[in-house]
Each structure stands twice: as C-alpha cells, then as structure tokens.
C-alpha cells in the first residue's frame, strides 16, 4: 500500500474541495436558475463524479463514502451527463474494514445552490484514518474561500484560523433557514444570555460562520448524516473549536449506519453553558 504523509492528505482535501467548488460555479453558469431541480441534480452529480474520479486516481487504495454514492441517489440524472446512475460508494463491508475513508458531500446546501445570489452552500471533503478525522476541507465557492486543515492547525485560504471567543453576555447561534429546530428556540429562551438566532443555509456554511466569527455557535439535531459534518468538524477541531454531539459525546465517523443527526460547534468557553442548556431542554430534542 502506498503511504501518504499527513501534509499530503491535508493538501489533497483542500485541493479536491476547491476544484469541486469551481466545477459547481461553472455548472451554475451553464445551467442557470430556471429549473432549480435540474440545477441541483446536475451540480450534485457532476461534483460527485469529479470527486470519485479524483480520489480513485490520487488515492486508489482508499474507500469513499459520498452522499451521492448512496443507492437512493441512483435515480438522479445530470443534464448533459451520462444516462448511467452515479458511481456508487465503496461497499459497506470494505469501507468498514478500511484504514482510510474519504467522507464527502459534493454539494452541501443544494437549496441555496439553486437560489440565485446565495453564497451559503459548500463542498465537504474529509479523510478518516483509523478511527479519527485526519484532514478536512470546506469550500465556500461563492464566497471565494476554502477552510482547511493543515499540519498543526487550520487556515481560511492562507490565513491562520482560530475560532474567536463570543462577546461577553451575547451569543449568536446559526440555525436552519427552512426548518429551525424548536429545541434551539427553547435553548435560546433558557440561556441567561442575549441570544440571536441567525438563519444560514448549509451545515458547512454554518460551521464556517462560527470559525470565521460571523456567529458564535451552531446547534442542530435531526436529519443529518456523516457527510454533513465530517469535513466541517475536522476543520473546527483543528481551529480550536469545541465539536461534539449535543449530549457532549464525541462525534464518530465511518460507522455501519452513517446517520449522525446532531452536532454542537462553538468556542470552548461556551461549551459548558450550551451543553447544560441543551440538557435542560432535552424534552424538545427530535426523537
């Protein structure tokens, strides 16, 4: 088996996410916003096929788990693309036995991608190695930046990235644009802080907003999978943020069931307050 250095893996994650982001911008320009469904599917599938081919070429021995490699995505078709179904993921048995697994979301925030002028969508590329997230990159193509892990830390573009502390007494929490969880509203009312809920599109864009100081926390429960959080969590942890399940337990990846429904990302100084508050409103958490 070919050995790859950690620095190579960090660089490759950033390269793959950034290139897929450029491809998605080109698809947006080519297809236009006249039919949102066609734009969503075309972007999803072209970015997926690009990442699958690039990983197969650059890391041929590695396994892949992609949102668009699921059997449920087989009915999607890309405009101007082949009639065949999307390239499938590595078989579960092989993925679970592998030492290295790329966990990717070719287009996180398809709704925002299909809406003209919106920039809160992302490309996620993460590498899991022997039980841990080893590298990750979140491209924000319409914002012109990729947040990425590097040896010993994280960067936004070429700028070192450290999660900023919130302003004392205040907290801005990123929530879904279309389906803000009831429990986050309850949490905001419970906290002894001046809390503002900030609607943002994709999970990657929300976690990036925490790391860039545009909000102070992201709290979510319900309806997410490993590809929604692997890359942003890798960057967040490398940038010194707290990232966990909403009960405080560690995030775990490359499991038989890729469902990973909840996450908390914030500055470490806010973690205890938020985890206590979440516990106090746990009756409102989605079942």
Q: Which of the 8 DSSP states describes residue 277?
A: H
User: Is 228 annotated as belonging to a binding site?
Assistant: yes
User: Is 107 annotated as belonging to a binding site?
Assistant: yes
Q: How many residues does the chain have?
A: 287
User: Is 108 annotated as belonging to a binding site?
Assistant: yes
Strand segments (E) across the chain: 63-66, 100-108, 122-129, 132-140, 145-150, 153-156, 159-160, 170-176, 194-200, 217-221, 242-244, 262-266
* 8 Å CB contact between 234 and 254: no
* 8 Å CB contact between 14 and 74: no
Question: What are the residues whose beta carbons fall under 8 Å from the beta carbon of 264, sequence distance 6 or more?
Answer: 217, 218, 219, 242, 243, 244, 245, 246, 248, 271, 274, 275, 278
Cα gap 118→109, rounded to integer Å:
10
Can you say which residues are annotated as belonging to the binding site for Mg(2+)? 67, 105, 107-108, 228
């Amino acid at each position: 088996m070919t050995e790859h250095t950690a620095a190579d893996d960090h660089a490759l994650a950033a390269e793959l996410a950034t290139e897929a982001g450029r491809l998605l911008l080109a698809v947006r320009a080519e297809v236009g916003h006249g039919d949102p469904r066609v734009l969503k599917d075309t972007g999803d599938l072209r970015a997926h096929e690009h990442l699958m081919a690039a990983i197969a070429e650059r890391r041929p021995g590695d396994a892949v788990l992609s949102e668009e490699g699921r059997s449920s995505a087989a009915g999607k078709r890309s405009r101007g693309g082949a009639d065949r179904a999307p390239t499938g993921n590595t078989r579960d048995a092989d993925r679970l036995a592998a030492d290295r697994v790329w966990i990717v979301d070719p287009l996180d925030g398809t709704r925002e991608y299909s809406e003209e002028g919106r920039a809160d969508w992302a490309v996620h590329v993460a590498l899991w190695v022997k039980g841990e997230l080893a590298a990750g990159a979140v491209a924000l193509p319409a914002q012109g930046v990729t947040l990425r892990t590097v040896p010993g830390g994280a960067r936004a573009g070429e700028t070192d990235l450290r999660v900023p502390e919130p302003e004392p007494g205040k907290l801005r929490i990123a929530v879904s644009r279309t389906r803000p969880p009831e429990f986050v509203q309850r949490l905001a009312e419970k906290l002894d802080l001046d809390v503002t809920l900030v609607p943002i599109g994709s999970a990657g864009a929300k976690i990036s907003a925490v790391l860039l100081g545009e909000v102070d926390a992201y709290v979510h429960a319900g309806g997410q999978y490993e590809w929604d959080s692997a890359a942003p969590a890798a960057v967040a942890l490398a940038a010194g943020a707290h990232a966990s399940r909403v009960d405080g337990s560690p995030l775990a990846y490359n499991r038989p069931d890729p469902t990973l429904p909840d996450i908390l990302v914030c500055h470490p100084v806010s973690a205890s307050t938020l985890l206590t508050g979440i516990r106090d409103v746990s009756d409102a958490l989605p079942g």
